[in-house]
Amino acid sequence: MPVRELFANFASDFQSLNIIHIIQFRNIVLAAAAAAALHAGASGRAAAVAGVRIDDSFWSPKMEVRNDVTIPDVLRKFEGRHTAEPEEALVKLYRLLKDEPELKSRPGMDVDERRYFDLVTFWIENRGRHCGYPHWLGWGNPRSEQWIRESGYSDASFGSHSRPSWGDYAQDSIPVFEQTTIEGHAVRDTLLGTGIATAALENRDPRYIAAARRLWDNMTGRRMFVTGGVGAIHEDEKFGPDYYLPSGAYLETCAAIGAAFFSQRMHELTGEGKYIDELERVLYNSLLTAVSLKGDNYTYQNPLNADGHNRWEWHGCPCCPPMFLKITSEIPHYIYATRDDALYVNLFIGNDADLNVAGHPVKVSQHTAYPYDGEVEISVDPQTAAKFAVKVRIPGWARGVENPDGLYTSDLSGAPVLKVNGKAV
Ligand SMILES: [Zn+2]
């Protein structure tokens, strides 16, 4: 398919979303291959990972060319218009290749990973830099799309910004660093926030950090439902205005998952527990409810009033299942975090983990029936004598802080009790 046709339907195409899933799938496989090679001391084009042999064709030059050349050069053309937000996926690919340079020794992988990161910052910083037309809200979608098709934006008088505005829908009305509210398509914006925060982890640019904080604060403090759902309005699957929280709201499953990704990444950026509170809200109230117990049906919309809404076997817009798979596959990485000489215990899920804390191998385990029972037993077992901090998240709801901005309150009685080796502290 010619490139022009491939990305011609900016309003609802899914090619870019598919590309992002492919990149993220490839990130996972590349990371697994790196881990397997490290573990086995192996090298070569195929790696046995968890009993799965990756076929040589996966590393074929054709695939690598698409990854290195075609994708960035194509995606660069459409600036703020992409259907999905690929920033996070490309930052992860960048970091993976930077951290595991031996991956670049594979045939066809002679890439300069910096190009991926540069492309991400290009996308983020070029939002809102356009010719000023069409006026999506005033003109409506059909007239705006017609205006773009007729290439009115190529008028030389528009100067260097000779591209159309893709509007609030694509977070393209104004530059990202000037955006104070989270607007437009909820999946796009939550994933954009995730991408900004992920990029900030790398460049520590205060503009990125401030923008991510502003968007997250507006989302959770004024536009998030008590279930963690976001995107109140059916039309354009978008955020509503502040405090617009009706019981029949749209609330796409993907959007809640995007909000969860955003919250987790904000915690990685800041170390603050409130971000995990909001991740947890989504996990238990939007994610688990989105899939049937048998795992063969799922919700697309999640209104608080579910009368008349059933789970789907399939949906003509099949975005939610891969997002569900992405987050469930990442949950093991969300339970703990480490930074400097501290171990963060973020989520309370029964597990056994082998971690590295400040250079020390540490076995950590949890026994709990949370959330059915609030008791959590955490064992921390360094393999050699070590000194480091263990930071256990005390959920906001357990401290009477249901939401960081007071959007929700609860009247729980009782206070959390923390014991170390059986003694209350
Ligand atoms: Zn979806």
Q: Residue 313: CB partners within 8 Å, gap ≥ 6?
A: 296, 297
What is the mean predicted confidence (pLDDT) over 123-133?
86
Statement to judge: residues 315 and 252 lie in one domain? yes
Within 239-359, strands assigned E span: 336-339, 342-345, 351-357
What is the band of 48 on the pLDDT scale with cuts at 50, 70, 90?
Answer: very low
Which domain-ending residue is among 126, 158, 184? 126
pLDDT class of 56 with cuts at 50, 70, 90: very low
| Residue 77 is assigned to a structural domain of this protein | yes
Q: How far is the CA of 400 from the centre of ligand 1 (A)?
A: 32
Indicate whether 252 and 179 sit together in one domain. Answer: yes
**Token pair for residue 192?**
């954009």
Of all residues in the chain, the percent with pLDDT exceeding 70 is: 76
Residues 6+ apart with CB under 8 A from 14: 83, 84, 317, 319
Residue 387 lies in a domain: no
**Do 360 and 342 meet the contact criterion of CB atoms below 8 Å apart?**
no
The 10s digit of each residue's pLDDT in 382-417 is: 999 999 999 999 999 998 899 999 999 988 888 899
The answer to whether residues 178 and 73 belong to one domain is: no
Query: What total of structural domains would you count in the chain?
Result: 2
| Centroid of ligand 1 to alpha carbon of 195 (angstroms) | 18
Q: Which of 248, 249, 246, 331 is nearest to 287 (CA)?
A: 331
User: What is the token pair recorded at 390?
Assistant: 């263990």
**Inside any domain, residue 302:** yes
Which one is predicted more confidently, 190 or 59? 190
327 shares a domain with 182: yes
60 and 171 fall within a common domain: no
Inter-residue contact 271 to 264 (CB < 8 Å): no
Report pLDDT for 17: 58
Q: Which residues contact 50 (CB under 8 A, 6 or more apart)?
A: 32
DSSP H or E stretch at residue 206: helix 206-222
Q: How far apart are CA 52 and CA 33, in angstroms?
A: 10
Q: Is residue 148 part of a domain?
A: no
Tokens of 422: 């059986």
pLDDT at 107 over 70: no
Is 322 in the same domain as 197?
yes
Please tell me which residue, 104 or 215, carries the higher pLDDT value.
Answer: 215
What is the pTM assigned to this prediction?
A: 0.84
Q: How far is the CA of 324 from the centre of ligand 1 (A)?
A: 9
pLDDT at 337 over 50: yes
Which position has the token pair 């385990």?
Answer: 365
Range of the domain at 28: 1-126
In a domain, 239, yes or no: yes
| DSSP state at residue 242 | T
Say how many C-beta atoms besides its own lie within 10 A of residue 57's C-beta: 8
**CA of 224 relative to ligand 1 center, distance in Å:** 17
321 Cα–ligand 1 center, Å = 7
Instruction: Tell me, yes or no, whether 227 and 117 share the same domain.
Output: no
Q: Which residues pair with 145 in a beta bridge?
A: none
Ligand 1 center to 186 CA (angstroms): 10
Residue that terminates a domain, selected from 318, 333, 348: 333
Confidence check: pLDDT of 338 > 90:
yes
User: What pLDDT, on the 0 to 100 scale, is given for residue 185?
Assistant: 93
187 CA to centre of ligand 1 in angstroms = 8
CA of 323 relative to ligand 1 center, distance in Å: 7
Q: Which residues contact 20 (CB under 8 A, 6 or more apart)?
A: 84, 85, 86, 89
Task: Please indicate, yes or no, if residue 65 is contained in any of the structural domains.
Answer: yes
**392: in domain:** no
220/242 Cα distance (integer angstroms)? 10
Distance 97 CA to ligand 1 centre (A): 29
Domain match, 260 and 115 both? no
Lowest mean pLDDT among 274-283, 304-313, 336-345: 304-313
User: Among 72, 98, 126, which residue terminates a domain?
Assistant: 126
- As a whole number of angstroms, the distance between CA 102 and CA 117 comes to 19
At residue 33, the pLDDT reads 53
- Rounded to whole angstroms, the Cα distance separating 102 from 193 reads 31
- Separation of 286 CA from ligand 1 center, angstroms? 12
CATH code of the domain containing 301: 1.50.10.20
Strands 389-392 and 342-345: parallel
What b/e readout covers 219-238, taking b as 16+ CB neighbours within 10 angstroms? Answer: bbebbbbebbbbbbbeebbb
Q: Which residues surround ligand 1, an ion (CB under 5 A)?
A: 252, 254, 319-320
- Whether 133 and 164 have beta carbons less than 8 Å apart is answered as yes
Taking the centre of ligand 1 as the mean of its atom positions, its distance from the CA of residue 17, in whole angstroms, is: 11
Please name the residues in contact with 371: beta carbons below 8 A apart, sequence gap of 6 or more.
284, 348
Sheet order of strands, 376-382 included: 351-357, 360-368, 376-382
